[in-house]
Structure 1
């Protein structure tokens, strides 16, 4: 009697898992195109479909389905699990020119989880660590899958996430300039010679001035300070700021940027420190200690953050391992007929609140790798409150409501409404050295 043809249990289980994944993908609003019988480790492709126009986008993700009837995954808990991929699969996936995801299906409870093979852990790129909440393969994965389909091999090509629009907060502050600027002839050829002369008369001379082509420019009257020693007093003129703030000559524009930077530095003196290596301003340690907490206004409510945080040695908590200071790198931009300050949040690391940390660059690099947009937005909101005094008491506002003569002020810039939103999972971040778990460092 001839032996009957059979289908193995593994074949049936695999097909059942693929059918469930196909149905789930279609329920998300995407298209699933199964591979033909000649597949070597990819069961099909998921194509992003525009939810509004229903248009096929051509943005695809390769899908490999791994199905099991029942049982526990490796190191499975109520919140996470691990999946170990076969070495030959990993080698094959790495050669694909589009993203590859693994979808894990368990028939006994109908659970489905997914992970991009790019997120496989070291040392051999085989281990996928799954968060059961963040990595569930259901409607909550729509935005992350769309984000994964971003074309990264060509500059400027972007497949937007599929949630509705949201406000985008530009890291810009509008600068309110003084109404007038002072110009005067100087006998000195450059700033170095003029500063040397200033120091002969004043051990701490004013810094908010620039000198070019034998002309000194300042927001304050040079005759009212030691600057009178480096100008011809009879040539001092008070002119509208616009005459100097918006030149056609690039070199003159750079001079105005320098004047803005020196004026801001003078106003920040005593409130922030300056790190020359990073060109960043940062919060100094507390006068009677080190740690500092700053209270600010987030988008929705009052909030606070440890802007100077002390991290103790894990083996000896009487010793300081390092100190982290919140900081920002400034840059001035002329946009149309207005000037803006861009605030790029960053961190400065010290050994004890004052002395530089020799491992600071490594700590900063690690911090930047882990931070996402949500944390950066929170830091910017804190700096915006610092500069603009939003909701601050009068004595907390560095840039007073009625500024002193020659001072500059900063105003917030309205958010821009974007047609698409950033996937929520891309906004998650945690402090790499924090002892708390699951807590966002900043409120937005």
Structure 2
């Protein structure tokens, strides 16, 4: 009686499993009936449009039934390839995958063999080490296979899928006062205005929510409520904000935006300092230079001022990291919004700029991905609304609402277009962590300084 032995049956099951997994990825499987080291080809296909991309991956299958692969445990195993197989695979003009599987349990893992054996040590041993957690051959590997076969994206471009999404923007709704106060003044130097207020023997607070234009001072609060009332040279008048916002002359709307910028700075002056060189606000250092955290929109605490210690000397501070903010006021469809752009600031002592500010900024911008920016934006919106209980909303000039959201009926898989084919899956996940991975600089680079 003729028989099909266990090995042949397992091999056939392994091919069937690959076919199933390729189908689930939305690609096309072409099995070779006769092979000398390649069992089949994966043809890339756009799962949304159905278009094929004329890009191929070659596949060699190795299946095990009840037996385990050499060294196999819950997390790893290895496979030793023959010299002839390696030579054959390395000569291929397209990427070759080795797919090892257990057909009976539906488990499979893959390795790009040309990349692995490009290492001389790997080539000499013929051994491939598999990580069972990161190299699963299933639907989650689809975007990595796309990038492997078409690293420059020439043949595949992510297409929006029919799936509802809620998009959160960085536009924070703002309600502004209806009245601006203005009065004559005999200076157009803002520094002199501050100096005069400080020199007064007065219990009144220093007014900081003003602009100077055309021998007049414009402010959100009545001047008599601050020391500004002592230095103006004439009577105070009121002006409706709507008159500035609706004028055909773009000069007054620009003045209004400048006043709004002053209002935001004044609203958070107790917690945040202004950096004139970078045009940002950033969280002030704590009196004892310890870390400071505030509650974020998710309910978790986020550090807004953090000492960073040297790797070579954990007891010595390398620099201080401050959460910072750029912003822009915009009027859209008759409503005012503040566009929040989170950033960072670095100081050597909590006050003076770090001498490596540019390097640190470049480093964290390379690492920051969408989740980090999203959470930082929500943190600033949460703080400005007063939800953190840090701001006294009774004393703020502006009232801050919610971040604008938009509903969309189509979406793109972020992993498909944000992934970098030059990096492993572990590297990509690590980049989503909201951390700063910048090595301590060895030589000082002089940058601008801002007086304390």
Q: TM-score by structure 2 length? A: 0.68
**Displacement of 1:80:** 6.8
Note if contact 2:99-2:137 (Cα within 8 Å) is conserved in structure 1.
no
Q: Determine whether 1:65 maps to 2:55.
A: no
What pairs up with 1:242-261 in 2 under 5 angstroms? 242-261=242-261
Shift of 1:106: 0.6
Q: CA deviation at 1:310?
A: 2.8
1:246–1:337: 8 Å Cα contact kept in structure 2?
A: no
Q: Identify if the C-alpha distance between structure 1 residues 133 and 199 changes in structure 2 by more than 3 Å, giving closer, same or farther.
A: same
CA distance in 1, matches of 2:329, 2:314: 42
Written as runs of structure 1 = structure 2, the 5 A alignment for 1:77-88 is 78-79=74-75
CA apart distance, 1:229 = 6.7
Change (3 A) 1:89 1:208: farther
**Counterpart in 2 of 1:216?**
217
Give the conservation status (yes or no) of the 8 Å contact 2:158–2:412.
no
1:292-322 CA distance string (max 9 Å, x none): 1222231xxx211233233323333221233
Equivalent residue number for residue 105 of structure 1:
99
- Indicate the residue corresponding to 1:7 in structure 2: none
Q: Distance in 1 between matches of 2:87 and 2:208?
A: 65
Closer/same/farther in 2, CA of residues 121 and 68 from structure 1, 3 Å limit: closer
> Equivalences for 1:217-296 in 2 at 5 Å?
217-228=218-229, 233-234=234-235, 236-296=236-296
Distance 1:225 1:76, change over 3 A: farther
Does 2:407 correspond to 1:417? yes
Greater shift in the superposed pair: 14-23 or 264-273: 14-23
Q: How much has 1:410 moved relative to structure 2?
A: 0.8
2:391 counterpart residue number? 398
Partner of residue 45, structure 1: 43
Deviation at 1:181, TM superposition (A): 1.2
Distance 2:345 2:61 in 1: 48
Distance 1:257 1:90 in 2: 64
1:314 aligns with 2:311: yes
Cα–Cα, structure 1 residues 220 and 212, in superposed 2: closer, same or farther, change >3 Å? same
Partners of 1:353 and 1:76 in 2: how far apart?
52
Residues in 2 aligned to 1:323 and 1:176: alpha-carbon distance in whole angstroms: 34
Matched, 1:336 2:326: no
- 1:322 is paired with a residue of what secondary structure? strand
After TM superposition, where is structure 1 displaced by more than 6 Å over at least 4 residues in a row? 13-19, 70-73, 80-91, 119-124, 126-131, 143-154
| 2:360 is the counterpart of 1:363 | yes
Counterpart pick for 2:373 among 373, 376, 381: 376
Does structure 1 retain, via aligned residues, the 8 Å contact 2:27–2:42?
Answer: no
In the TM superposition, residue 354 of structure 1 has moved relative to its aligned partner by: 3.2
Partners of 1:23 and 1:86 lie apart in 2 by 29
Q: 2:320 is paired with a residue of what secondary structure? A: strand
For residue 46 of structure 1, report the CA deviation from its aligned partner.
1.3
Shift of 1:27: 2.6
DSSP 3-state at the match of 1:286: coil
The alpha carbon displacement at 1:262 in A equals 1.3
Deviates more, 1:378-387 or 1:272-281: 272-281
Give the TM-score, by structure 1 length: 0.69
Q: Is the 8 A contact 1:399 1:410 kept in 2?
A: no
2-structure distance, mates of 1:77, 1:250: 70
For structure 2, the residue ranges without an aligned partner over 5 or more in a row are 1-9, 201-205, 419-427, 438-452
**Where does residue 196 of structure 1 map in the other structure?**
192
Specify the alignment match of 1:32 in structure 2. 28
For the aligned residue pairs, the C-alpha RMSD in angstroms reads 4.9
When structure 1 is superposed on structure 2, of 168-177 and 366-375 the one drifting more is 366-375
Q: Which runs of 5+ in 1 are unaligned?
A: 1-12, 94-99, 435-444
Cα contact 1:45–1:61 (8 A) shared by 2: yes
Contact 1:311 1:322 in 2 (8 A): yes
**Shift in alpha-carbon separation, 1:67–1:355, aligned structure 2, 3 A:** farther
CA deviation after TM superposition for structure 1 residue 285, in Å = 2.7
Deviations 1:97-120 (A, max 9, x none): xxx7x6441145664446899x99
Of 422, 433, 446, which aligns to 1:430?
433
Structure 1 CA distance, aligned partners of 2:350 and 2:129? 37
Inter-partner Cα distance in structure 2 for 1:328 and 1:122? 45
